[in-house]
Structure 1
């Protein structure tokens, strides 16, 4: 029996491109829809690529009907926290209004399964280091607010229609395609690991924001989740909905973390290069320790992350960045 066709918005980006490859290799026909503002068509190594914007409701309806799409994986969003603070309207227009346009097309074509790429930024600064899905939702920037708004919209739509959704709240997405097939530039990413590796390539400084936190080495601890483990969670969420499962929300993380100093030390070991490190003051809003309680995803989806090693995460990222610099 053939598997249903899946529409993947933002499927030419960092996470979406690998999820596209992963689920296509599991036998699902895929249609990647991306406006290429921040994506790269070369990363679409499976399925069919169609250029377009999620705010174009009529075009999305046409694609869904023509290809008999039965589910949507939605990755198309702006994700830079600093940019969201400087340009909030840009984020609400794309992340919120754009998703509404996409959902209009989904409802008009009787789509019943919708997977949403959300974020741990919806929690803001949590009151405890290990964060579960029932923690208070208190985002502290427009990026987090935009994702939370979409979650609320999805909940309302799910309650009033046949559309069911799963929102996946990522913690710190990291790593790269373990096969090395998809080469995504990580230069525009602002997470610690790509910034650290870029500083090695450019022979520039990397800052440590605060060295006096109440942690073993004084630096912040964060939960990093490998791209491959994110992809497996998306497949499990997709299959849950296709099999008639109910709407839900899941955290995705390893449940433990690595400090800034641990990440920098491991980056030096993996690359064989010495970093130029500059300790500086704390940033406002940085909690000392932040990690995901992912027990719900493990118990309800059967999710089992396999790439929790910091060395594996950094090594895969380094291979990607190094190959781009060579080329």
Structure 2
């Protein structure tokens, strides 16, 4: 989702050659292959197909595959996006091969080192030569970590580029009505972070809030494979079956999910990207975490942090139902043109300078 507009922007320039590498980190067809089709991405030159495993094994396999490919093609610059294991793996390989590295979505910090993504972000930024940021807090974080301002470029948000381009197609799908729902009269839930789903007590706390919410409005729950496994493991299937207002469905394609999110009265999530997308859409968002690496969505947008405390979750939904949720606004530079700004910097850089080695 973040790479699609950048690939398109770079390929619009004559003479710019772009090689797309898919690591296969997300192994569900609904969570990976479908995105390529819906976003109009060309098939990658390489698909490493690493699949699911422990963090260490997954990163190691990605690094092995990328080393062979980078040595073969000798890119002028390696561009990584986000904060997943693939991001860190590619950054480390580029560093060891002395290849220039650019990080899109740099500088975001939750200041919670228990999150694997936080370690990925910090380490990737530390070895990057070009750092592209989405919000002012990211620039402040990088400055505090000693990264020179000349390396940092505030460009906006590539995910918002993708959303704005594909929103009309998502709306045309009429997803709420296809599920028998009225727009602005249902809640949308996503849940997958280990801190929320990997322990019996924490998951049960969230489900107790869900029991109340689904009595007030229908709740649509596209269930992540990890969450589905934990619900089965902890024996919560009966609890879910007793919630008549809850609609558990399979993971969805990007356009289908965007269509549901656009029509929701409120979104409850522990995802990072959804905090940004709901702010862009003007949809109230309750983040089921106690921290966020995207504070602009709270300070400027429609997002609030409620953690996994049932009382705070219920209070937040009640606030939405009463019509007293904040309106929010679109953050600076979230205008659908971030990819062009990134491409302009990438193509203007002289990667033969010593500062890039």
| Superposition TM-score tier, normalisation by shorter sequence | 0.3 to 0.5
Rg larger in structure:
2
> Normalising by the residue count of structure 1, what TM-score does the alignment of the two structures yield?
0.43
> Normalising by the residue count of structure 2, what TM-score does the alignment of the two structures yield?
0.40
Normalized per residue, the structure richer in helix is: 2
